[in-house]
Amino acid sequence: MTTLEVDGLSKSYGTVRALDDVSFDVPGGDLFGFVGSNGAGKTTTMRIILGVLRADAGSVRWNGAPVDLEVRTRIGYMPEERGLYPRMKVGEQLVYLARLHGMSKADATVAMEHWTEVLGVAERRGDEVEKLSLGNQQRVQLASALVHGPDILVLDEPFSGLDPVAVAVMSDVLRERAAAGVPVIFSSHQLELVERLCDRVGIVKSGRLVANGTIDELRATERLQWRLAMTGADAPPAPDGVTIVPDGAGAWLVEAASADVAQAALASAVYSGTVTAFEPVRPSLTDLFRDVVSETEEAA
């Protein structure tokens, strides 16, 4: 099983601690979403993985061995600051980048043709990059991360600036790469997208990884909540171990220690009025993110 391990990364810029003991691992086939506020340390982490930046402490390993230049040529990278030669033609540029990653000219050409096709920029191969729209440049940028058939994908904000169609294309590509056994790490501010796409999520806050787990793990809260909507009663009676708080007109939030206790609350609600809805409430990634970020702020 292939795994990319990030172990105890720390990095300071002068007195600013940009990363503080960040550890996580991404097995092959996993989509790992990396979320955090601006300046939280996502880009720094990714740059360190790519060896573009040196960590003060900690290491990055691929299948147990430290990531060296040879491994890095097998990583597909999309930097946050998009970068391509503006005056170089799309096709030539992709072939060049693929060859820098060690591909032969023939293979590189085939790969370039494949990815420009998949990403819908095939007709623009002969154009200089600077002549493309921003969205198309973005597609070329993704193509440049994929063109050498990488074993690992590290993408910084791959969805920013994309239209919905391109987002769908990009999501499909990421899923498809993950399904092919590639560990995919990407950062994004579009939390619904991360929630929908990712197997696991890491939340960074001020250089620390404050949450790391599957979406389900993160969403599992200590106190279970249900949302109850009913007519015909002012308020449902609350059995022992259940707290009920109003949540808008004709709706309440039911918090219970277990599903059984909540069931009792439902039974008494049915008895006292007409229940129109009773559904478990699970925090969205957005809620989690907000909670996590504000919690740590309070703690600090």
Partner 1 sequence: MVWLIAKREFKVRTLSKASLISSLILLVLAVGGALIAKPFLVADGEPAVVQVDSSAAELVPYLDAVAGGEDAAFEFVVADVATPEDPEDLGEVSGVITGSATEPELFLPERHDALALAVAEASQAAAFDASIVSLGGDPADVAATLAESTPTVTVVGDEPTEFEESEFLAAVVVVIMLFFVLIQSASVIMMGVVEEKSSRVVEILLSTVRPGTLLGGKVLGVGLYAIVQAAAMVLPILFGAWYLEILARYDIDVQTLLVNFSVWFVLGFSIFTVLFGGLAALVSRQEDLGAVTTPMMFLMMIPLYLAIYLVPLSPEGTATRVLTQVPFFAPFMVPMRTAFGSIETWEIVLAVVLCLVSIPVLVWVAGRVYSRAVLNTGGRMKLGEALRG
State the residues that interact with partner 1 by CB under 8 A.
47, 50-53, 69, 72-73, 75, 77, 79, 81-88, 96-97, 99-101, 144
Cα 291 to Cα 165: distance, rounded to the nearest angstrom: 31
Residue 88 or 167 with smaller CB distance to partner 1: 88
Q: How far is the CB of 140 from partner 1 (least distance, A)?
A: 12
Residue 275 bridge partners (DSSP): 230
- Shortest Å distance, C-beta 52 to partner 1: 5
105: CB partners within 8 A, 6+ apart = 95, 99
| Least distance between partner 1 and beta carbon 158 (Å) | 14
Residue among 84 and 191 whose Cβ is closer to partner 1:
84
By C-beta, is 52 or 168 nearer to partner 1?
A: 52
CB of 105 to partner 1, least distance (A): 10
Distance CA 4, CA 29 (A): 11
Quick one: which of 78, 81, 118, 285 has its CA closest to 193? 285
Contact 4, 185 (CB under 8 A): yes
Which of 272, 227, 287, 232 shows the shortest CA–CA distance to 253? 227
DSSP 112-156: HHHHHHHTT-GGGTTSBGGGS-HHHHHHHHHHHHHTT--SEEEES
Other CB atoms within a 10 A radius of the CB of residue 245 amount to: 11
**Of 101 and 205, which has the nearer Cβ to partner 1?**
101
Measured from the CB atom, the residue of 75 and 197 that comes closer to partner 1 is 75
Minimum Å gap between C-beta 264 and partner 1 is: 58
Closest CB 54 distance from partner 1, rounded Å: 10
List the beta bridge partners of residue 281: 225
Nearer to partner 1 by Cβ, of 94 and 275: the residue is 94
**Minimum gap (Å) between residue 14 Cβ and partner 1:** 11
Strands 251-256 and 224-231 come out as antiparallel
Which of 97, 269 has the CB closer to partner 1?
97
Token pair for 184: 């995919």
Of 275, 274, 271, the C-alpha closest to 237 is 271
Rounded least distance, CB 34 to partner 1, Å: 17
Instruction: Rank residues 68 and 297 by Cβ distance to partner 1 and give the closer one.
Output: 68
Q: 60 in helix, strand or coil?
A: strand
CB 198 within 8 A of CB 153: no
Give the H/E segment covering residue 4.
strand 3-13
